[in-house]
Amino acid sequence: MKKLILITLIFAAFSSCSTSTMESDAQKACELMTETAELMPEVIQLGLKSSFGDEESKKESRKKLNKVKSKMESMALELAIINKKYNEHEFQAYLLDNCELAKNLKGIGEAFKDSLENN
């Protein structure tokens, strides 16, 4: 099943290459990053549930967690395909100018880096 999803995503990405623009790809990348960020609390919650409780609830939580992780992996692949189409620095700059989440993530990364350097 994973291979079918992977092949479908690759085919869709390559078939849209001729009609996509940096603007539409950046919008899609921003949507994928946003969706991934929104899934993170669920991943954390399911991870905790899959470690504690009775065996049946742990099993069910692992099953749900695997589905969410699979979805995130396919989104990461789609994002990687988009990124490959452009110069890395140009695309990142475009994202920073046009995607609020990208700006926020950059700020968080810089703050984290600064805190590590100061300690």
What are the mean pLDDT values of the chain's consecutive 10-residue runs (119 residues total)?
56 53 95 94 93 91 95 95 94 93 87 81
Q: Nearest Cα to 29, choosing from 78, 68, 63?
A: 78
Residue 28: both structure tokens together: 């899609």
- Write down the pTM of the prediction: 0.71
The pLDDT value recorded for residue 110 is: 83
What is the C-alpha separation between 89 and 74, in angstroms, rounded?
23
Task: Tell me what percent of the chain is helix, strand and coil, each rounded to the nearest 5.
Answer: 85, 0, 15
Q: Nearest Cα to 77, choosing from 27, 4, 13?
A: 13
The pLDDT value recorded for residue 80 is: 94
- The type of residue at 29 is A
Residue carrying structure tokens 């350097």: 117
